Amino acid sequence: MKNLTVTSSPHIRNKINTRSIMLDVVIALLPALLAGVWHFGMRALLVSVVCVVSAVAAEWISSTVIYKRNTVMDGSAIVTGLLLALILPAAVPYGIAALGSAFAIIIIKGLCGGLGKNIFNPALAARAFLLWLYPVYLVRFTVPGAELSLFGSNIDAVTSSTPLHHMQIPALPEEGLLDMFMGNIGGTIGETCTLALLLGGAYLIYRKVISIRIPAAYLGTVAVLSLVFAKGENPVAWMLYSLLGGGVVLGALFMATDYATSPVTPKGQIIYGIGCGILTVVFRYYGLFPEGVTYAILLMNAMVWIFDFYTAPRRFGSKEGGR
């Protein structure tokens, strides 16, 4: 009789790990990146490269100095850098992009304990940090097809107001809905082409990397509130422009669904998505900037522990919830 090897649980194993999940996210982000390069030129690609390389370098420094172990190969730094690049304008200086990546990895992720322990989404926190320090560069959106210098200054680049700026007047944007769906509008590198974002989101859902609960609750809430509290004579058009404009689709599919900063319970995910949608609409209507996705998700990140605590399933034999 052969000797049996007895080990502790878990005994169920598969090929899914952190690296494979991060690879799926990178694949899902490629359509948005390619669309950004198509509309804004090679500078968009260089900004993305700078963000990713800076994030990986910061991850190596953070993991080596603070934790004495190398966590670069898990791929999370690549995802953070790429996500940050997609929510930055193509004309942003490379130094600012690199600073944002370093802040996301070292401060937001590293000082909180590393992957899975950060409270806030690193890419969004970095954008909020850069918006506070360099608002001029973060709100200058290049029009598609503008000639951007790869290494010189783009301070005089051709810029335009985004559809959300028109909606603050309030007025419906000049751009057609098809142009917004295909990305023929000004904006950040990765937020303009809704088609590319939906393709990437569908891939993540198909691969079961994310659940549809958070995106559906988020986008559904924005749709309902924009329809009910529409400004203008065409509520349906106002709702559609609200969904296609800005970073709400990118935020719902790729930012709000971050494992470390979103609830783990199904009920908590739905409440969290609804909260993100409510805050997004409130910030868009009453905030200083026309966009509200960044701060809406960051504020809801801070409340995730509450949703997990009060929506945890009741343990067998217990009269209370998961407490």
| Predicted confidence (pLDDT) per residue in 265-308, tens digit | 999 999 999 999 999 999 999 987 888 899 999 999 999 999 99
| pLDDT given at position 88 | 95
- Interval 209-213 mean pLDDT: 95
Spatial distance between the Cα atoms of 309 and 251, rounded to a whole number of angstroms: 24
Select the more confidently predicted residue: 248 or 313: 248
Whole-number mean pLDDT of the chain? 88
- Interval 148-154 mean pLDDT: 73
146 pLDDT higher than 80 = no
Confidence of residue 7 (pLDDT cuts 50, 70, 90): low
- Interval 137-158 mean pLDDT: 75
Residue 48 host element (H or E): helix 42-62
- Interval 44-56 mean pLDDT: 96
Confidence of residue 163 (pLDDT cuts 50, 70, 90): confident
- Interval 7-24 mean pLDDT: 73
Other beta carbons within 10 Å of 62: 21
Ranking 177-181, 212-216, 275-279 by mean pLDDT, the lowest is 177-181
| pLDDT given at position 318 | 58
Spatial distance between the Cα atoms of 318 and 157, rounded to a whole number of angstroms: 63
pTM of the full predicted structure? 0.90
Other beta carbons within 10 Å of 100: 33
73 pLDDT higher than 90 = no
Count CA atoms within 13 Å of residue 194 on its CB side: 19
Ranking 111-115, 126-130, 196-200 by mean pLDDT, the lowest is 111-115
Q: What HEC string does 72-114 produce?
A: HHHCHHHHHHHHHHHCCCCCCCHHHHHHHHHHHHHHHHHCCCC
Q: Which two tokens stand for residue 288?
A: 């200083």
191 pLDDT higher than 90 = yes
Ranking 46-60, 221-235, 308-322 by mean pLDDT, the lowest is 308-322
Count CA atoms within 13 Å of residue 129 on its CB side: 20
3-state percent helix, strand, coil for the chain, nearest multiple of 5: 60, 0, 40
| pLDDT given at position 233 | 81
316 pLDDT higher than 80 = no
Percent of the chain clearing pLDDT 90 (strictly above): 61
Select the more confidently predicted residue: 75 or 315: 75
Residue with structure tokens 């194993």?
13
Spatial distance between the Cα atoms of 292 and 317, rounded to a whole number of angstroms: 43
Confidence of residue 255 (pLDDT cuts 50, 70, 90): very high
Spatial distance between the Cα atoms of 265 and 211, rounded to a whole number of angstroms: 11
Confidence of residue 5 (pLDDT cuts 50, 70, 90): low
Helix (H, G, I), strand (E, B) or coil at 16: coil
Among 285, 202, 182, 200, which Cα is nearest to 238's? 285
Residue 282 near residue 238 (C-beta atoms within 8 A): no
| pLDDT given at position 232 | 78
Other beta carbons within 10 Å of 8: 5
Percent of the chain clearing pLDDT 70 (strictly above): 89
